[in-house]
């Protein structure tokens, strides 16, 4: 049972003044606490003995009765305060008033006997022990959510909620094709989508605030399980008047030598993948410019500011074509990125997430085909090349 110091309730028991809970003895006038009967006290002691290794007789019984164990809600308040660093915003996130949250944090400090928070006029800072306890509290809350997830999945494996993260250079282009498949496979599933850069998605996964994520490989996280989904080719995007747009034959990686590419800003995994291609091709990065999105890159290329690499899903319908943008397919095995669905190895949802990952493997057949996305001249050259290779 959780006690929150509500007005009109006894500070020790949390029951309305003037009442005595069943199984307790007391004066019933609200002026003294109601103490458990002997059999209730024994049950309380048994619970304490089960949870501690330091039982030493009557003193431990008195400690258990006078200091009930902390509740999950207080831990939620502490985690919210650690995330928002502001009492008002943390209270809003927990759907309680600021005085309520502040009071419960103080209660938790009193119970633990250590200061958790440094209160300053402008911001809230957690003490060193407060940060450590907040990390452990987040683990506890994550474990509780895992218990609830096990129960939900047992009752109905295909219902409930899945919090799925995806990175911004894939989400807007993949989801229009994947969501109808997911709805058809799991009509009762509530899918909550979070779009963040890869580094943030990994942090949210570690903290238990996401159930799974769609991320680019490789990953170096021992705590995460990866299910490979697909390999997505890149196309070279140039302006219609760029010399490479009129180059006869198919584009080889070496044709990018000495070219400077427009790239995304730091933090995007696509930037790292493009830099790797540049390194292999002997190309470089266009200095003085870093885009915040693929749409910015697309428009800058169309204006003949530079050239760039675009993943094939980003140029397939329902994405509208951009005038003066020429897409060139690479010869042979094109540069690409490998995409996987990942989740914590300890997840109680492992079996269901494997089924969800399987849905992502059944995307439309031509979605990942660079030939159908290339500009007409390039597509014709590719078709001719393929005919000669089969001749």
Structure tokens at 36: 């458990």
Q: Which among 108, 41, 32, 18 has a CA at the least distance from the CA of 70?
A: 108
Provide φ and ψ at 76, rounded to 5°: -60, -40
- Output the CA torsion sign for 291, 214, 336, 176: negative
Q: Name the pLDDT band for 147 (thresholds 50, 70, 90).
A: confident
Question: Is residue 273 within 8 Å of residue 337, measured between CB atoms?
Answer: yes
How far, in Å, CA of 236 to CA of 251, rounded? 9
How far, in Å, CA of 300 to CA of 80, rounded? 41
Structure tokens at 7: 């007005």
pLDDT in tens, 256-275: 998 999 999 988 889 999 99
Structure tokens at 134: 């907040």
What letter would DSSP give residue 184? H
Q: Partners of 309 in the beta sheet? A: 236
How far, in Å, CA of 82 to CA of 85, rounded? 6
- CA–chain centroid gap for 210, Å, is 4
Q: Partners of 342 in the beta sheet? A: 213, 226
Q: Name the pLDDT band for 67 (thresholds 50, 70, 90).
A: low
Selected residue with higher pLDDT from 261 and 56: 261
Q: How many CA atoms lie within 13 A of 98 on its CB side?
A: 6
Preceding amide of 218 cis, omega within 30: yes
Residue 273's CB is within 10 A of a number of other CB atoms, namely 22
Pairing of strands 160-166, 189-195: parallel
Selected residue with higher pLDDT from 299 and 384: 299
pLDDT at 9: 40
Q: Name the pLDDT band for 357 (thresholds 50, 70, 90).
A: very high
Share of the chain above pLDDT 90, in %: 50
Q: Which among 391, 344, 328 has a CA at the least distance from the CA of 146?
A: 344
pLDDT at 95: 92
Q: Is 166 exposed, middle or buried (0-12, 13-18, 19+ CB in 10 A)?
A: buried
Q: Name the pLDDT band for 66 (thresholds 50, 70, 90).
A: low
pLDDT at 328: 94
pLDDT at 122: 74
Structure tokens at 42: 């024994």
Average pLDDT, the chain: 81
pLDDT in tens, 279-289: 888 899 988 88
Query: CA separation (Å) from 77 to 105, 112, 117, 184?
Result: 7, 15, 12, 38
Structure tokens at 79: 């985690």
pLDDT at 63: 47
Selected residue with higher pLDDT from 31 and 225: 225
Q: How many CA atoms lie within 13 A of 194 on its CB side?
A: 20
pLDDT in tens, 2-29: 334 444 443 333 434 444 344 333 434 4
Task: Delineate the domains of the chain, giving CATH numbers in brackets.
Answer: 72-150 (1.10.10.10), 158-228+345-360 (3.40.190.10), 230-337+369-390 (3.40.190.10)
Q: Name the pLDDT band for 43 (thresholds 50, 70, 90).
A: very low
pLDDT at 247: 85
pLDDT at 123: 78
pLDDT in tens, 83-118: 888 888 899 999 999 999 999 999 999 889 999 998
pLDDT at 378: 56
Q: Of 139-153, 211-225, 309-323, which range is least confident?
A: 139-153
How far, in Å, CA of 211 to CA of 166, rounded? 12
């Amino acid at each position: 049972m959780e006690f929150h110091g509500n007005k009109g309730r006894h500070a020790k028991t949390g029951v309305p003044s003037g009442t005595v809970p069943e199984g307790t003895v007391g004066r019933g006038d609200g002026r003294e606490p109601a103490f458990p009967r002997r059999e209730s006290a024994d049950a309380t002691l048994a619970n304490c003995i089960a949870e501690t290794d330091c039982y030493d007789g009557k003193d431990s019984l008195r400690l258990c009765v006078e200091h009930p164990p902390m509740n999950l809600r207080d831990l939620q308040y502490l985690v919210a305060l650690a995330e928002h660093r502001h009492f008002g915003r943390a209270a809003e996130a927990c759907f309680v008033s600021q005085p309520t949250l502040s009071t419960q944090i103080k209660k938790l400090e009193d119970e633990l006997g250590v200061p958790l928070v440094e209160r300053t006029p402008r911001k809230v800072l957690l003490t060193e022990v407060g940060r450590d306890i907040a990390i452990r509290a987040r683990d506890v809350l994550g474990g509780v959510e895992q218990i609830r997830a096990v129960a939900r999945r047992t009752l109905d494996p295909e219902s409930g909620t899945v919090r799925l993260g995806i990175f911004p250079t894939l989400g807007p282009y993949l989801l229009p094709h994947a969501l109808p498949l997911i709805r058809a496979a799991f009509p009762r599933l509530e899918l909550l989508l979070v779009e963040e850069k890869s580094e943030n998605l990994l942090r949210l996964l570690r903290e238990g605030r996401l159930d799974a994520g769609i991320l680019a490989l490789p990953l170096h996280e021992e705590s995460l399980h990866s299910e490979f989904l697909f390999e997505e080719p890149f196309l070279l995007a140039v302006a219609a008047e760029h010399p490479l747009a009129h180059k006869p034959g198919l584009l080889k990686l070496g044709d990018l030598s000495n070219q400077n590419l427009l790239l995304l800003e730091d933090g995007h995994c696509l930037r790292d993948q493009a830099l790797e291609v540049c390194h292999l091709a002997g190309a470089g990065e266009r200095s003085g410019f870093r885009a915040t999105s693929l749409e910015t890159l697309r428009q800058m290329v169309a204006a003949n500011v530079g050239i760039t690499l675009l993943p094939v899903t980003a140029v397939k319908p329902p994405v509208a074509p951009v005038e003066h943008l020429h897409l060139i397919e690479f010869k042979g095995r094109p540069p690409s990125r490998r995409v996987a669905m990942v989740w914590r190895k300890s997840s109680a949802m492992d079996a269901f997430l494997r089924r969800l990952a399987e849905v992502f493997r059944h995307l439309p057949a031509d979605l990942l085909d660079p030939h159908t996305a290339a500009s007409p001249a390039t597509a014709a050259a590719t078709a001719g090349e393929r005919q000669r290779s089969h001749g």
